[in-house]
Amino acid sequence: MASVPSIKLRDGNSIPQLGLGVWQVDPNITARVVTDAIEAGYRSIDTAEGYNNEQGVGDAIKRTSVPRSELFITSKLRNGGHARDLALASFDATMKALGLEQLDMFLIHWPVPSQGKYVEAWKTLVELKTQGRIRSIGVSNFNQDHLERIIGETGEAPVVNQIELHPRFQQRDKRAFHKQHDIVIESWSPLGSGRMLDDPTIAQIAKKHGKSAAQTIIHWHLQEGLIVIPKSTHKERIVENFDVFGFELDADDMAKIKGLDQSRGRVGSDPATASFLF
């Protein structure tokens, strides 16, 4: 079984660079999907309160023989829970659903700037980390202005920012700021919600290396130094998405993929304007 590289976070903890995302995984099959992933070698699982499947992740954790210390479990605070009392209650519900005493990482799911409470949410995460209930804290879908504000008002930077990132939306304009503040980027929708799988440039590179389009894209994320959390509900694809080691994209491959970047390549919501609550 392949050994997944780890990325050292600024707080001293380490996260596997490749994990399983369970966004849009039916709660009724989540336990099976996560069990399949753990059996395939995945040790990092990424869920969220808004996915309504934390219970299934918790069931899989309970049934596995893999020691808890070898698993890295991430969840995210719901958009409607930014106020301190709501955030504390939501976190308690998350821990109950997951069946855990301590969470490896907890993220603010979206900044929802129109609501104006993400600093309060961040202060609550800092509080929970200080209490030892969370090992690492971070954010998701935060733009630079959101990051600057929480760092400026608390003095604590997130260790991770999970953002939409794939070959058609590479977010290179964000990389320097993240590097400067030692914030690791984690890619959600790493395959462009499946839209990158039919790209002819990716297909050409994949054929050259004897890999699938998905394997090629996932390996590109790894080579870019990003954390990547592809999602699948199919056991064979979960296994395939983990088999992304033992080959290397050369400079020509990387240049071709870099050329796929589009300023309008986003498939998800814009964090500057997203105001949905859940």
The catalytic residue positions are: 51
Residue 278: both structure tokens together = 């859940």
* Angstrom distance (rounded) from CA 182 to CA 229: 20
Which of 66, 63, 46 lies closest to 54, judged by CA? Answer: 46
Which of 133, 147, 142 lies closest to 98, judged by CA? Answer: 133
* Angstrom distance (rounded) from CA 37 to CA 46: 12
29 exposure class (CB count in 10 Å sphere: 0-12, 13-18, 19+)? middle
Single-letter code of the amino acid located at 227: I
Residues written for the chain = 278
* Angstrom distance (rounded) from CA 87 to CA 85: 5
